C-alpha cells in the first residue's frame, strides 16, 4: 500500500457580486478569490482491492455519497468511457477537517478539487486543467477555482477563471458558532441584490462588497454581533456565502493580538493569503499536471 498526504486549502472572497440569474436558476457572479495558508488534510492510502472507502474526523460528513466519493466515481466513469487508463486501484480516503463547514471558506469544493487533481495523476488520466475543471464544475461552482489553483477573478457560475496576482496579506479570520447553507442563502437572493457587470479593471479597483453580506446579517444576527466586535479593530468582512468573518491586518503580530481578544463562543485563526494554492505549490514540479 502507498500513502499520500495532501493539503486541501481554504479561500476567501475579496469581493462578491451577483450580476444576474440564468434560465436554469443558477446565479451569475463576479468575484475575486485568493487562497489562504490554512488547509484540511487529506490522507489517501492506495490499495489494490478496487474498493473506495472514506472516513473523516467529523461525523458531519456522510461517508457514503458525499462530494468526494461523487468526485471519485465521476472521474472513474469519465476515464473508463475515454479509455484513459487500463487499471484502477482501490483507496481509502480520510479527511481531517480543519476548515469549518458552512463557513464560506470553500472546504468542500477544495476537498473535491484535491481528489480530482490527485486521481488525475495516479490514474494517468492525463486530463488538462481546463478539462478537469469542467468535471469539477459538475460538483460545485468553486471547484474549478481550486483545480486551477491561482488567485483569480471568477465569473459566471464558476466556469470562467482569470488568474491574477495580488499582494499577499495577513488576515485574522473569526469563526462564529454557526453553519450557513449556501443553498439556503441563495434562496433569499432577489433582484435587489444584483449589481451591474464590471470590467476586470473596475472590479480590482472596487471597494470590498459582498452581495450576500446584507442577507446573512439579516437572517443570522449572531454574525452581525461578531462583525461589530471585529470592526472595533479593523474593517470586518464576510467571505463567500458562509459564516466566517475576515479582516486584513498590517502584520502577523496585529492579527494575533486581535485573535487573542476574541469573544468567548467563537474560534478563529491567523493566516496569510497566497496567490498559488498550497496544494499546487507542492505539486508544481511539472510532472503532476498535463496542460
Count CA atoms within 13 Å of residue 264 on its CB side: 0
Give 70: exposed, middle or buried? Use CB within 10 Å, 0-12, 13-18, 19+.
Answer: middle
Question: Which grid cell sits at 147?
Answer: 483545480
Phi and psi of 138, rounded to 5°? Answer: -65, -20
Radius of gyration, CA atoms only, the chain? 19
Question: Which grid cell sits at 238?
Answer: 464576510
Residue-by-residue DSSP string for 248-287: EESSHHHHHHHHHTPPTT-EEEEEEEESB-HHHHHTTTSS
Least Cα distance to 234 among 250, 215, 213, 214 occurs for: 250
Beta bridge partners of 54: 93
- Active site (annotated) includes residue 142: yes
> Which member of 11, 97, 237, 274 is catalytic?
11
- Active site (annotated) includes residue 250: no
> Which member of 22, 76, 83, 142 is catalytic?
142
Residues with catalytic roles: 11, 142
Amino acid at each position: 500500500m502507498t500513502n499520500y498526504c495532501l493539503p486541501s486549502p481554504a479561500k476567501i472572497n475579496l469581493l462578491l457580486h451577483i450580476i444576474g440569474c440564468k434560465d436554469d436558476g443558477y446565479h451569475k457572479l463576479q468575484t475575486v478569490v485568493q487562497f489562504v495558508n490554512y488547509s484540511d488534510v487529506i490522507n489517501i492510502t492506495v490499495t489494490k482491492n478496487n474498493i473506495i472507502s472514506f472516513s473523516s474526523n467529523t461525523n458531519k460528513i456522510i461517508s457514503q455519497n458525499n462530494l468526494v466519493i461523487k468526485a471519485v466515481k465521476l472521474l472513474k466513469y469519465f476515464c473508463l468511457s475515454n479509455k484513459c487508463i487500463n487499471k484502477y486501484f482501490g483507496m481509502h480516503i480520510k479527511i481531517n477537517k480543519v476548515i469549518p463547514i458552512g463557513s464560506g471558506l470553500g472546504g468542500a469544493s477544495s476537498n473535491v478539487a484535491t481528489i480530482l487533481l490527485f486521481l488525475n495523476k495516479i490514474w494517468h488520466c492525463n486530463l488538462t486543467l481546463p478539462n478537469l475543471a469542467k468535471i469539477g464544475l459538475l460538483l460545485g461552482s468553486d471547484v474549478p477555482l481550486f483545480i486551477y489553483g491561482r488567485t483569480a477573478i471568477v465569473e459566471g457560475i464558476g466556469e470562467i477563471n482569470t488568474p491574477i496576482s495580488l499582494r499577499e496579506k495577513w488576515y485574522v479570520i473569526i469563526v462564529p458558532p454557526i453553519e450557513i447553507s449556501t443553498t439556503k442563502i441563495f434562496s433569499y437572493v432577489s433582484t435587489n441584490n444584483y449589481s451591474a457587470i464590471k470590467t476586470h479593471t473596475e472590479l480590482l479597483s472596487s471597494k470590498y462588497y459582498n452581495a450576500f453580506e446584507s442577507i446573512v446579517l439579516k437572517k443570522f444576527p449572531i454574525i452581525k454581533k461578531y462583525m461589530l466586535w471585529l470592526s472595533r479593530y479593523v474593517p470586518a468582512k464576510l467571505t463567500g456565502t458562509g459564516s466566517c468573518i475576515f479582516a486584513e491586518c498590517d502584520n502577523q503580530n496585529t492579527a494575533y493580538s486581535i485573535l487573542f481578544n476574541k469573544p468567548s463562543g467563537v474560534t478563529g485563526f491567523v493566516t496569510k493569503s497566497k496567490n498559488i494554492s498550497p496544494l499546487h505549490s507542492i505539486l508544481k514540479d511539472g510532472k503532476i499536471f498535463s496542460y
